[in-house]
Chain A
């Protein structure tokens, strides 16, 4: 058995880079340091079914075809569509994403990633009011006040707290006892059980609570004795803790980005963080889900000027989530052809969006059998980045990390598949001129 060290885990945005993989006969049989979710990703836990060959739907059946034929059909669908949509991108590496943006421009498509159903609101808010962010290293070494707002890292990012809150840092040499942990969550969760202060607010009232905290911090009184189910005294006490922080950090997740108000909740949370810098040092980090969802926003921004929901239909990039988001296009029945890569909208999109996916041709570039591949007309299996091929990914706070290849695969990488589709699209377009 061979031990491969310093492997980066291709699961969540924490992007743990200290995994050791146990390899036997070119297969990963075990891991050291990984959390349970990461471990199952590496060893392909029971139930996971891999596609080994490209497939095309013929009648009611999926028929095995060559890569060439699947790529030809994909290119034809993309060129024929008047408003194609390319969605996903969050579980692949940055160089594949860069080819994706070029392909979107070439076919006049809308390109969007999973941020549009997770931290898209955060991206909108940071465009409006800024992004006071820091790296994990600063959190570990300096933070004495840690807020988790609307997230449950205990289950969703299992090693997040052990690496940032419980870990000993340069100025926090006892680790957890040197920090005050605040959890804001309407539920009692396994994360909230570890908190020093749990603000158990009413559901959908994040904006109201933030408005109250900001008002009190700015030296004014609030109108009501209770805001979002939190008594006035506890709001004052919380503001006091925030003011006295030497280095504060706000981690926030879906529980605030997708409750009522969406990006406006993040907007006011960012403004709170900025305000707090008058009294202490305060920063924030969004709890990004997929391991390279941040990477797509970076790549798309440096390629097109916009982070997601980018519409190339007029030949130049335009952007307006609410109009050019995947769900907007699907639910308004605007799109007439969809390519899904490195994500699973079939499992996560609302029914109304799926109804449209059934009506239009869907191409899935996807290693596993998922609800999306069940809806797909073409399935192209790639090698998995971070396990079977290398690539760069961005950690949730924007630190790029090079991912290793651990075992071999005879499948093409996402990047190679996209490059071949792009080349074929260019040929078809030149021929039709």
Chain B
């Protein structure tokens, strides 16, 4: 690439650069780059690392498939309700894990907790509403309601819908979005992937991941919270 040459040639004409060059005319320009500082030891730090002797990224385990994660966002009651909702909406099926086995309640606690306020409110209000409705209609908390009772609460709000156009009514919005999220989090889990492999599916849930392409480091430092901007500002 001749970009460096071009930039070098170009800088020479800018006014500032010209005056710098004028001052330098009487000095001797350094002809070699400054030496690279050596490591404080007998072996240079970076020696020997290459494609052949690195640890393969394939050995990495997924932390939340192994470690306990603590729920931090939802209240105790909300978490219990969410767990029951997960159990009912996406149960295990023919060797594939259900939402509980896939760690979905804990994952959603993390995901929703990290989300903008409108998504947080929708989940919190939705879970509170389910519990309150169950107590009102059946005299028991949602977690203790029978599947048939839960069906009475949920079914009236189930809708068919197309991408980017969820139903807009309050309870229908929550029920359908939560259902979709719970299902996606299940299907995208390590547990599901393992089950799919066992069933002979070759590359379940694989996709082409794009790393940041020459990210602007300065911006990364300067922008603390991604979703702190005002609503009207895109």
A, B: real partners: no
Q: Which A residues have a C-beta under 8 Å from some C-beta of B? A: none
